[in-house]
Amino acid sequence: MQPSQLPPDDSGSEDVVHPTRYLPVVETEVDSLAGRIALVTGAGSPDGIGFSVARRLRLAGAEVIIVSTTKRIHERAEEIDGTGFVVDLTEDAEVAGLADAISEQIGDVDILVNNAGLASKTGPAILRPVAQLSYLEWQDEVERNLATTFLVSRAFVQGMAERGWGRVVNVAATAGVVNGVPAEAAYAAAKAGVTGLTRALSMELIADGVTVNAVAPGLILTGSSTVPELRRGLDMPIGRPGTPDEAASAIAYLCSPSAGYVTGQVLVVDGGAGVRA
């Protein structure tokens, strides 16, 4: 039943209001992102989650901007007819410069996917027990996996709020949120921090038409996956590791107009590992 077809209130009270009764019925392609500008960080790898997200958003009609720390980002941008920037997102000044460049050259960002920070061949994870972890190594993991999400979000969410529409999706991880892995305490703590930031920011922006959610991938097969990770993937309840496209599909949904009533949530994409007994 459409909102305009709701039955009349028969409670006898004129004070009872059906909020959906007055919503217009609009026929539209609800998942089209035509006219929207999307920024995806950490999209330099051709077989990573970030680039898979960028492809999906481009196919949905968005103008896509992608960011990484190396010049290969320009190759990825050319593949999707997008725009690439080389930026160190752990540096406040560089993030501010990115925001200025996008505003001047392209326009206002409507969709932000904070994917930067996941381990890659150029930035491998620091795997060391807490007792052997240096404070500098701890800081490096937190800066790469949590500070980047904070800095980029801070640079763009106010504009979204002022325009009354926006989507922010932060890529967390099952580590630290669903499970614990030995020697990954710094990474897990940072990714757990991403989920806390997601929930707090969602409440700050909830009245402004901006949703903020997180996706927590489990073991995903990418170009940086190690042999032990691949073996762990075969032990998943579903019998294999996930693919970047499977993680990207969840992220793309949360970027869509259809997800307008979803905010402050963490969507786990782990092939059932988190619920296995």
Q: Residue 11: CB partners within 8 Å, gap ≥ 6? A: none
Q: Please name the helix (run of DSSP H) or strand (run of DSSP E) that holds residue 166, with its range, or none.
A: strand 166-171
Length reported for the chain: 277
Beta bridge partners of 38: 64, 111
Instruction: List C-alpha distances in Å: 130 to 48, 135, 181, 184.
Output: 28, 10, 12, 8
Q: Which residues of 25-38 are buried (b: 16+ CB within 10 A; e: fewer)?
A: eeeeeeeebeebbb
Residue holding tokens 């080389």?
Answer: 86
Assign 177 to helix, strand or coil.
coil
Q: How far apart are the first and last CA of the chain?
A: 41
Half-sphere exposure of 41 (CA within 13 A, CB side): 30
Choosing from 22, 187, 253, 261, which is the catalytic residue?
A: 187
Active site residue 135: no
Q: Which residues of 168-187 are buried (b: 16+ CB within 10 A; e: fewer)?
A: bbbbbbbbbbbeeeeebbbb
Q: Which residues are part of the catalytic machinery?
A: 187
